[in-house]
Amino acid sequence: MPRQTTSSFPFRGLLGNIESQQQDMATGAAAIAPNPGLSAIALVIRSRDGPRFVFHYPARPSNKPPEREPRYSTELDTEPSIEEDEDDSDDSDLEENLYSSLPALGKLDLNESDGRPSKKHQKSSHAEPPIGDDHYDEKGEHVVPWEHLFEFPTADLESILTPSRAFHKKKFELSLDPLTFVTYPIHIREDGQWKKKKSKKSKKVKKESDEATGSGEGKSEGGAKNSSGDASEDGDDHGGMTMFNVVFILNLPKEEEDERIAEIYEHIIKKLNKALKHAQASSNYVWKESEMMLLMKEKAREERRPMSWLWNEILLKSTLAGAIRDVFNAVSNNDIATVRLGASPLVDLSLQIPIPAYLTRYPGSDERAMLGLLLTSANGLVNEDSSEDPTRLNKHFALLLLDDGEKIITEIQADNTELTAPLIECIRLCKPTLSFLQVAQTQNVELNSLLVLAQHLIYWRRAMAIPPLHAREMYIVSPNCDSRKLPAANTAWKKAFPLAPSLPGYLAALSAAPRPYKTFSPSKNHRPTYLDMLAWAIRGGWVTPLRTFAWILVWPEILYEVQYQLKAEALEKAKNATSSEQTSSTSAESTDESGAEKKSVNSDEPLSSEQAAENARLERLAMKLAEDAAKFAAEFEKMPKPVATLHPSTNSAPHLKALSPYIIKDPHKASHEESLYIATYGNRFTDPKIKDCWFKFCSKYFNGKEALEMICLQEGMKRKETWSILMHFQETIMICKHW
């Protein structure tokens, strides 16, 4: 596959190389993400000669459903005896029973022509591919090996996989049990063009780049080569191609089918087909490549060439075939596909199904395990105002490289682009111990560009955002760490930190009891190394920050004080009201009763008896009110006066017995009473600074969602100072520590 040397994409060289890619796989999050279940990719077009099945990859796709993670939740062990034997047979057994009332159509011998063994057919609903598929060439009769894909003749597939215009730029999904075919068909415009004709060239170039950016990370290069693009717009050399689509053939477990199809459709299928449309429009790319592949196939058919030979030839000659192969390999490995379509101008695009860099929830017992993925509630895409924005990193987070910094730098240097220098700068400046804001301030660089570069590294799975590491914070062994990797990781650890304790020893110490991290380091001089060790362990998903969360806890003493206060106020109000009522009793009455009613009473001159009854009712009401008020006042008199003690939590005064402590759920949306509780606490702090902080922290941090560790960063305070202030609130907040 011919490839240009220059590229606007970092890591291209590396990612394009499949071998090295697979080696990398072993450690990355990609290895943990569930198998995307991609069986094959096919290119199908409709040309002058009708629908044509152009190419598919791999040449002989596996019919087997993808292997699945046999573990669940955070389990480490597997019991092979039960698992591997049973799992499959269980499923088919289950199906068989469910459909046992319908003993498969095979029983009816509808498929006599296939000559399938009926036993086999009963056992599994998956049909076997025709035997001829496994042979390169003729066997008695001439069977062309590439004219079958799975058990289907490509002659039949090509017609069913060229959906009508109704599906133009729409999702096409067809399942032929057990396979699902998903695509995004592209038809030629009604006017016979692949895109709207633009009068001005400049406009056209703009449109192109717009479209390219729309399709993922695509970019069009060499806009100067437009002349060749124009030639294709004559429309004569299309070969009468009216539609094309790259079809993705998936084999997924039923219960996750919809979700996974939606993912691959949005992130891969749509973008790839859009990019191809762009290439077709600019330089007739899809047709040229298709024509070439079809000719090669025809020739090989005549020459009775083996399929492997032909496929090698096609992959060598056609950049489109190469692109399909690259996409297949990358998607199958959950990797990022970087594809260059050999159209002119060249179309570069990168495709990936995003995979999370960490888990935010503890995996449930019925969820497939994603062992080794870091488990943390700290999400770098949630900003200070607790809104999640996938395009903006929290500036108080830090960048943790997922590989050795120097190694990443070499990779970036290998792809010399305009971004290379800034990216290297970013890698050199960012430390896992410094927030982006701190880096920007100390190094005098622009924060926004720093965030953009960091985002770039995260997108390319070279880094992740974490709360900055600090020796005062606590770290624990992640409940999701993959101990099966312990032997290999231990060796790597020894190499990286020859003088440190062994990895199991280190993890054991961390996990025994959560303590501030600095206490593990033998001396202050060791701290930098210990922080490096920590970064290493977090990168591998071994260790996760233990974060502190708080809620405001209102003790009975405070509850009572506020209650008392409110009652006193109510009493005061009532007193004022009655005194004003006496001066203008009628007006007070009129406000009590609805004005409209009063009016109607006056105008219509109702029966006097009715009026009398009404008056009597009002009188009774007034008396009742007065009685209640008196009772209320008397009761209030009896209530003991609230006394503010130094430690409200231990106040065991008898009048507080009936009250139980109260937790404010969301101080940001505090009710009137809740804000009084907060105020009462606040007024008890004598130190103005602490009082200040109390009110400042309350609504922002004491909500159970914001980690107290972030306060110092977000408020620009010293860590030590923050914690010493927080110590003053010890009695007024309830604390919980979790990852």
Partner 1 sequence: MKNKYGIPKKLRKHFCPSFSSEEDFNGEKKDTKAFISTSKRWPAGAMIQGIFFARFLPQKGIKVIHQSPPGCIVTEPGVDKPRLFDFETMSEYIIPKQAFCNRYVTSCDPENKYRILGHPVCIKDEKYTRNEFMFNFCIVIGVEADKIPYEAVVRRLATTFTEMEIQNEFLSQEDISNSQNRRSIAALLEIIKEDLNNYNECMIPVGTSLSPFPKSMNLIIADDANTINMKLFPIYKHPPPVKAWHVPISKMKFSSIIDDTWDLTMKKVILQIDGIKDVRRIAHDADVALDLAKIAVQHLLYYDSIIMLDLFLFGNIYAPTPDVDDFLEDKEGMQDECANYVYINGPRLSNFYLCRLFTTLCTSRTIKEWLKLHMEQGFPVLNFVDVRRFVQFGVIKGLIYRVHKYAVSNTVLNGIVSARNVGVEGGEQLQRYADGCHCFDQITVEMNLADVKIMDQLRRFPKGNVEIIYR
Restricting to residues 289-348, which ones interact with partner 1 according to CB under 8 A?
A: none
Select the residue interacting with partner 1 from 57, 194, 549, 697 (CB under 8 A).
Answer: 549
Tell me the CB-side half-sphere exposure of residue 487, using CA atoms within 13 A. Answer: 1
Task: Decide if residue 176 touches partner 1 (CB under 8 A).
Answer: yes
Select the residue interacting with partner 1 from 1, 14, 143, 160 (CB under 8 A).
Answer: 160
Task: Decide if residue 666 touches partner 1 (CB under 8 A).
Answer: yes
Residue whose CB is less far from partner 1, 274 or 288: 274
Residue whose CB is less far from partner 1, 96 or 313: 96
Least distance to partner 1 from the beta carbon of 94, Å?
5
Task: Decide if residue 603 touches partner 1 (CB under 8 A).
Answer: no
Mark 347-376 with x for binding to partner 1 (rule: CB under 8 A) and - for no binding.
Answer: -------------xxx-xxx----------
Residue whose CB is less far from partner 1, 364 or 390: 364
Task: Decide if residue 93 touches partner 1 (CB under 8 A).
Answer: yes
* Cα dist from 261 to 14, 79, 172, 557, whole Å: 28, 31, 11, 57
Select the residue interacting with partner 1 from 34, 59, 72, 565 (CB under 8 A).
Answer: 72
Select the residue interacting with partner 1 from 401, 507, 562, 712 (CB under 8 A).
Answer: 507
| Sequence-ordered list of residues with C-beta below 8 angstroms from that of 96, at least 6 positions apart, any chain | 122, 123
Task: Decide if residue 704 touches partner 1 (CB under 8 A).
Answer: yes
Task: Decide if residue 447 touches partner 1 (CB under 8 A).
Answer: no
Tell me the CB-side half-sphere exposure of residue 574, using CA atoms within 13 A. Answer: 16
Report the C-alpha gap between 540 and 492 in whole angstroms: 11
Task: Decide if residue 512 touches partner 1 (CB under 8 A).
Answer: yes
Contact stretch for partner 1 (CB under 8 A) within 157-165, 516-524, 574-582, 599-607 = 157-165
Least distance to partner 1 from the beta carbon of 261, Å?
10
Task: Decide if residue 59 touches partner 1 (CB under 8 A).
Answer: no
Residue whose CB is less far from partner 1, 149 or 434: 149
Task: Decide if residue 499 touches partner 1 (CB under 8 A).
Answer: no
Report the C-alpha gap between 48 and 236 in whole angstroms: 12
Task: Decide if residue 73 touches partner 1 (CB under 8 A).
Answer: yes
Task: Decide if residue 209 touches partner 1 (CB under 8 A).
Answer: no
For residues 543 and 476, is the Cβ–Cβ distance under 8 A? yes
Tell me the CB-side half-sphere exposure of residue 53, using CA atoms within 13 A. Answer: 18
H-helix segments, 381-430: 405-414, 420-429
Helix (H) / strand (E) containing 313: helix 307-317
Residue whose CB is less far from partner 1, 622 or 734: 734
Contact stretch for partner 1 (CB under 8 A) within 165-173, 350-358, 519-527, 575-583 = 165-173
Contact stretch for partner 1 (CB under 8 A) within 69-77, 232-240, 610-618, 687-695 = 69-77
Residue whose CB is less far from partner 1, 89 or 410: 89
Of 205, 231, 218, 212, nearest in space to 284 by CA = 231
Task: Decide if residue 734 touches partner 1 (CB under 8 A).
Answer: yes
Residue 466 sits at φ, ψ, to 5 deg, of -135, 160
Least distance to partner 1 from the beta carbon of 375, Å?
9
Least distance to partner 1 from the beta carbon of 624, Å?
34
Of 399, 369, 382, nearest in space to 464 by CA = 399
Least distance to partner 1 from the beta carbon of 153, Å?
6
Mark 521-540 with x for binding to partner 1 (rule: CB under 8 A) and - for no binding.
Answer: --------------------
For residues 397 and 468, is the Cβ–Cβ distance under 8 A? yes
List the interface residues with partner 1, window 608-647 (CB under 8 A): none
Least distance to partner 1 from the beta carbon of 459, Å?
25
Least distance to partner 1 from the beta carbon of 182, Å?
10
For residues 62 and 133, is the Cβ–Cβ distance under 8 A? no
Least distance to partner 1 from the beta carbon of 80, Å?
10
Task: Decide if residue 500 touches partner 1 (CB under 8 A).
Answer: no
**Crossing angle, helix 285-302 and helix 270-283, to 10 degrees?**
90
The DSSP-derived string for 189-256 is -TTS-SS---S-HHHHHHHHHHHHHHSTT-EE--GGGHHHHHHHTTSGGGTT--EEEEEEEE---GGG
Contact stretch for partner 1 (CB under 8 A) within 48-56, 81-89, 319-327, 599-607 = 81-89
The dihedral of CA 136, 141, 142, 148: what is its sign? negative
Select the residue interacting with partner 1 from 665, 684, 691, 719 (CB under 8 A).
Answer: 665
Of 438, 448, 355, 443, nearest in space to 393 by CA = 448
Report the C-alpha gap between 172 and 42 in whole angstroms: 14
For residues 362 and 74, is the Cβ–Cβ distance under 8 A? yes
Classify 541 in phi/psi space as left (phi over 0), alpha (psi -120 to 50) or beta: left
| Sequence-ordered list of residues with C-beta below 8 angstroms from that of 162, at least 6 positions apart, any chain | 44, 45, 46, 51, 185, 243, 245
Contact stretch for partner 1 (CB under 8 A) within 300-308, 393-401, 428-436, 729-737 = 729-737
Task: Decide if residue 589 touches partner 1 (CB under 8 A).
Answer: no
Least distance to partner 1 from the beta carbon of 526, Å?
20
List the interface residues with partner 1, window 94-153 (CB under 8 A): 94, 97-103, 105, 108, 110-113, 125, 127, 152-153
Least distance to partner 1 from the beta carbon of 461, Å?
24
List the interface residues with partner 1, window 477-496 (CB under 8 A): 477-479, 481, 483-484, 486-488, 490-491
Alpha-carbon 721 to chain mean position? 35
Residue 468 corresponds to which amino acid? Answer: P
